Structure 1
Amino acid sequence: MSNKKSSKDSNLSNYGYDMVVATTQDSINATLKQYLYKMESTEYVVAYSITYDEKGHSLIKEISYHELVEKIGIDLFKISEDNKTQKEIDAINKAYDDFDFYMAIKGSIGIDKLTNGFPDIIELLESDISSTANVSYKAYFNNLEFVYLKEHKSNVYFNNLKQPKDNPWIFKFNVKLDLQDEDFKNLPIDIQKQIKNLDPETMFSVKQLYLDLNSAKLQSCPTIEGVSEGTEEYDLINRFFVKIYWKGLKDSDKGDVIFGYALAPLKKGTSYNNNSNYDPNYIIVPTNFTFYVSTYSDPKTGKKNPGLNTLNYVVMCDGHLIPKLKPFTWNWLESNEQSNKHGSISINRNDFASKMANQLMNSLKLLLLQPKVAVKKNGSDFHLEIYLEPCEDKVEPIVVTESGSKVLTYKFSRKDSDDDKYGLLRKASASLEYILDYSVEFINNKIIITTKIETPLKVDPGAITKTAKGEIASYVLTDIYTLFVDVNGGLDFKYKHDSVYHQDDFDAGIWTNMCFKNFNEFIDKYRYRLKKAIDDYCFKYNKSMGKNLNKSLNWVFPGNSSFIFSNVSFSNYQDLIVNITYAQEN
């Protein structure tokens, strides 16, 4: 039996993370295979010279292969081991005698032939809590070829070693995707930025992940598969590719990537999903992230399923520091979902609520009203004037709650009173209060905004009689936004509004009616005026809120160029969750 729950129990507030993007091992492999099979990779060539010091120690140095070809007049990769022409022999000797040529490597990244049962490219290794993600990664090449010279008994021999077409050589690395590790921090800043790409459109793409996997500084020394250890072929591959080429990358201050793999920049505002131009307004703009691996265990049986292990991007925004990493108590995807989903994105309730609060406050200010009361002697009677006007005071921001479905609350009240005298004994007074109680709830796939307004009025005629009390008007406004997400990660909603109006009957009494002539008619008249005023404010509020929520709920999930989105909802702890599937990479 496993204690693991589903992503419906996402509770990022308990971890201090702003966002997590989780994709399964199976989905990464399937997408990477398609990408590598279809990619048009650039052919990469690198060459080396060899010299010897006074003690006979070899000194191997990288040289420009293209400059070498210009000087010797022939591309060495086009020379066969047998049946060489005299021109080719002269070029080989010139390369050896004049330029100390030792060997050259030519290759391109990719998969030449993709078949059913093609081996996985990555395996997610369980993260230990004190570190971060570790990935076992197999590098494949469309073609890989070596040409090299060796001297034997004063003769120079030309040799060519080429990867078999149907039996590719595989280089298996362990990659430490720890973007907080000292090895990463010691990389040149430009390389750090390439690996730690913070562009919300592209940072979660398999192309970007592939760049990270091929960064030599993050890799351990590879083992070679596809050729028998102990053979001359194995020894040559190990010497040329691993000990000279890869180790040179690893030791370089440049932090280079295998075969110069790089990402073509994506035109701003272009989505791979629909190729349309737009100006995305991201729910969260990442400022930092690192990786972490979660292992899957069946909630009922506890059985492991490595294919459902997830590579998690732990994302922070607004300059927040990455807290100490710890394992999740839920699976990001269940076995019955893996046929059409590749993972999930979860956004911390507090981050989403805070961003909503900033938008909603602009509308809510229209409902922050100051009551005004005036009591004036009018002959032998009193005259009462009441009205509402916009509050000019500085107001507090909307409060983000710590837990529960009610994520935002706001309470506001203002009161005004006045009195006047008639002679020595008669004094009349009145007070009007304006009370607003506002809340926002996240439940399932709904945002429910409830606005309660009360306007209690008290009138004291200043005689031996009871004070007249009652509501001028009270409202309960309910706005329900049912969320859905389009394939490009854009939030949208269906809107439903309900308004309930209530008023109390005033029992003014005889004396009140005598002091304030035609008091009940007066109350009805001013109730109508105040109701109309509140209706006008509510109309402006609803219009403004619709505009502001259209702006805020027109947000786009990060990763919009990498994923297709579906099934947006709130977790049991109010995190905003959406399912993702890798889009076809270009």
Structure 2
Amino acid sequence: MSSNNSNRSNLSSPNYGHDFVVSTTPTAINKGLWQYLSSSKEQPVTQLCFLVNRETGYPSEYISVEDLMEKTGNVNPFDIKPGTNYNDPRIAALTAALFSTGIQLKMGPPPGVSSHNLPGIVSLAKGTKAVEFNMYFSEITVVQNNPPSGWGGTGHWNVWAQPSGQPWYLTTIVDVLISDIDKQLSSTYFQQHPDEKAALISRLSGLESTGTAFSLQQLLFDLDNAALQGEVRFEGIPDGNPARSLVEEATLKLYTSYAKEQGKPLLALVALPHVEDESQLKLTGIERQVSFLKDSTGQELKDPTPEQLAVTTLDYLCATDGHPLPGARTFGWNWVMPEEVNHESGVIAINRNTLGNFIMNELMPSCQASCIIASPTVKTGPSGEV
């Protein structure tokens, strides 16, 4: 833990009592998620088109760009540049086909900006069961056809695109789930990340070689049920414009589809022994909580800066050898300080009593075997001398 932190950890205090705690920062979690987003296989550019429903006047009918081009004599709306005169025959053909809005996008890190200068993909501000999840795109363009109104308004062809260095993104709330996985790690995620799979299988083979029976559980983000939050960054598309709501809905669904193809982002993988654990610290209970940065008095900061939020920690609270699990507690110290976030991913802290008992049990047999038991005897001579 931080050498600069005046409040050192004290798990042996009656207020806590956990046998050990493993804490990690969202900075470390996000580093892995950016790698997930960057290293996944090259994604194709997806194009979605929406036609106006004649009864409602709303662009609610989805059509592929290929089907639209068959209706319009091979006119692709994404080829029409901003500033094109509305009398262009291509626009006329699209209007005749009831074309309203088109969305062209590609998943991935946004261009022209470092991940260090962006809000993290995930934020722990909501807790451990649900987190904030930002959805980013490497490319996104929206085109909109606004025909002249019946009141004499002129028609407009609008084009909005994500500019380099100014990323568009959605903020959603995502559940964190625990699910089972087989020992061969035959999930979509590990199929798309063979290096991680090979490394984990190697370690699991070592566990199997000891004769230990175990099952695997994974902790992952459930993007299937992501709920859109109020913060949506699509600068340029006016609030209330039908194109904006279409973009929000479509990108949310496409991101979910992307996660299914690539495998839902993985947070942790845990091996659960089915027979007696032979390790020195036998894990028998675990719980999760989130800890926020605290001031010198141990109170959580009311208005933390982004730098201070970056050292919020996801804590695994652990019990060993059948000890009761104290449950969630607000620690009176910080696990990682802001100045350490770039070179410390987290902390493992062991209760001094747990560590002391472990050392005592390891030393006791050797100490007992090395003890000398004295059996003094006294003899006297004929004259009574000793």
Q: Does 1:144 align with 2:140?
A: yes
From the superposition, tell whether residues 225 and 115 of structure 1 become closer, same or farther in structure 2 (CA, over 3 Å).
Answer: same
Residue type of the partner of 2:291? S
8 Å contact 2:86–2:156 — kept in the other structure?
no
Query: Which has the larger share of strand?
Result: 1
* Alpha-carbon displacement from aligned partner over 1:92-139 (angstroms, at most 9, x marks no partner): 468x26xx6753342323131235972432685656xxx646655544
Q: 1:300 to 1:105 in 2, by over 3 A?
A: same
Number of matched pairs? 317
- 5 Å-filtered alignment, 1:123-522, equals 124=123, 132=128, 135-152=131-148, 159-171=158-170, 173=171, 175=173, 177=175, 179=177, 212=221, 215=223, 217-225=225-233, 227=235, 232=238, 235=241, 238-242=244-248, 244-245=249-250, 249=253, 257-258=255-256, 260-262=258-260, 264=262, 292-299=289-296, 304=301, 305-312=308-315, 325-334=328-337, 337-345=340-348, 405=355, 407=357, 440-441=358-359, 448-451=362-365, 476-477=368-369, 500=370, 502=372
Mapped to 1, the partners of 2:65 and 2:169 lie a distance apart of 25
Q: Cα RMSD between the aligned structures?
A: 5.8
1:124/1:310 contact within 8 Å kept: no
Deviations for 1:509-557, whole angstroms, at most 9, x for unmatched residues?
9xxxxxxxxxxxxxxxxxxxxxxxxxxxxxxxxxxxxxxxxxxxxxxxx
Contact 1:333 1:343 survives alignment (8 Å): yes
What is the letter of the counterpart of residue 141 of structure 1?
A: F
Asked if structure 2 preserves the Cα contact closer than 8 Å seen for 1:24 and 1:311, the reply is yes
The corresponding residue for 1:78 is 79
Instruction: Say whether the 8 Å CA contact 2:103–2:140 is kept in structure 1.
Output: no
Counterpart-to-counterpart distance in 1, 2:69 and 2:20: 51
Contact 1:139 1:170 in 2 (8 A): yes
> Cα–Cα, structure 1 residues 19 and 69, in superposed 2: closer, same or farther, change >3 Å?
farther
- Does the CA-based 8 Å contact 1:4-1:298 persist in structure 2? no
Aligned 8 A contact 1:44 1:259 in 2: no
Deviation at 1:449, TM superposition (A): 3.5
1:315-370 deviations in Å (ceiling 9; x for gaps): 899xxx99964433442224564452121245799xxxxxxxxxxxxxxxxxxxxx
Partner Cα distance (1:90, 1:157) in 2: 12
Is contact 2:21-2:317 (8 Å) kept? yes
Partner of 2:383: none
What secondary structure sits across from 2:359 in the alignment? strand
How far apart are residue 145 of structure 1 and its match?
A: 0.8
Q: Could you list the per-position Cα deviations for residues 386-428 of structure 1 after superposition, in whole angstroms to 9, with x for gaps in the alignment?
A: xxxxxxxxxxxxxxxxx65554xxxxxxxxxxxxxxxxxxxxx
Distance in 2 (alpha carbons) for counterparts of 1:503 and 1:287: 39
CA change 1:124–1:162 in 2 (3 A) is closer
2:8 paired residue number: 6
CA contact (8 A) 2:26 2:124 kept: no
Residues 1:103 and 2:102 aligned together: yes
Counterpart of 1:261 in structure 2: which amino acid?
A: A
Compared CA separation, residues 294 and 37, structure 1 to 2 (3 A): same
TM-score by length of 2: 0.56
Q: Under a length normalisation based on structure 1, what TM-score does the superposition of the two structures give?
A: 0.40
> Does the residue aligned with 1:297 lie in a helix, a strand or coil?
coil
Paired amino acid for 2:143? V
Structure 1 residues 289 and 236, CA gap change in structure 2 (3 angstroms): farther
- For the residue of structure 2 that corresponds to 1:140, the secondary structure is strand
Alpha-carbon distance in structure 1 between the residues aligned to 2:312 and 2:45: 34
Shift of 1:140: 3.2
SS of 2:48's partner is strand
**Structure-2 residue corresponding to 1:512:** none
Question: Equivalents in 1 of 2:279, 2:240: separation in Å?
Answer: 50
Residues 1:22 and 2:23 are matched in the alignment? yes
1-structure distance, mates of 2:282, 2:94: 56
Deviation per CA, 1:536-583: give whole Å up to 9, x if none: xxxxxxxxxxxxxxxxxxxxxxxxxxxxxxxxxxxxxxxxxxxxxxxx
Residue in structure 2 matched with residue 60 of structure 1 by the alignment: 60
Corresponding position of 2:272: none
Which structure has the greater CA radius of gyration? 1
Q: The residue matched to 2:46 in structure 1 has which SS?
A: strand
Measure how far apart 1:288 and its partner are. Answer: 11
Structure 2: state its 5+ residue gaps: 180-187, 190-196, 202-217, 265-277, 302-307, 380-386
**Alpha-carbon distance between aligned partners in 1 of 2:345 and 2:139, rounded to the nearest angstrom:** 30
Equivalent residue number for residue 205 of structure 2: none
Aligned mates of 2:263, 2:244 — CA distance in 1: 34
Change (3 A) 1:287 1:144: farther
User: Quick check: 1:132–1:176 contact (8 Å CA) kept in 2?
Assistant: no
Counterpart for residue 211 of structure 2:
none
Once the 2 structures are TM-superposed, how far is the Cα of residue 43 of structure 1 from its aligned partner? 3.6
Task: For residue 164 of structure 2, give the secondary structure of its aligned residue in structure 1.
Answer: coil
Distance 1:19 1:75 in 2: 60
Check 1:289–1:66 CA distance in 2 against 1; reply closer, same or farther (3 A cut).
Answer: farther
How far did residue 294 of structure 1 move? 0.6
SS in 2 for 1:292: strand
Distance 1:40 1:103, change over 3 A: same
Displacement, 1:451? Answer: 1.1
- Is the 1:4–1:297 Cα contact (8 Å) retained in structure 2? no
Aligned to 1:227, the other structure's residue is in SS state coil
SS in 2 for 1:120: coil
**Pair 108,293 (structure 1): closer, same or farther in 2 beyond 3 Å:** same
Q: Do the aligned residues in 1 keep the contact of 2:175 with 2:225 (CA within 8 Å)?
A: no
- 1:122–1:135 CA contact under 8 A, matched in 2: no
Residue 112 (1) aligns with residue 111 (2): yes
The aligned amino acid for 2:139 is N
Q: Structure 2: which amino acid aligns with 1:161?
A: W
| Residues 22 and 344, structure 1, Cα contact 8 Å, conserved in 2 | yes
Deviation at 1:201, TM superposition (A): 5.1
Paired AA for residue 111 in structure 2: D
Q: 1:140 to 1:218 in 2, by over 3 A?
A: closer
**TM superposition shift of 1:163:** 1.8
Q: Confirm or deny: 8 A CA contact 1:134 1:174 kept in the other structure.
A: no
Q: Which has the higher contact order (CA 8 A, sep 6+)?
A: 2
Identity %: 19
The amino acid of 1:238's aligned partner reads R
* Counterpart-to-counterpart distance in 1, 2:122 and 2:155: 44
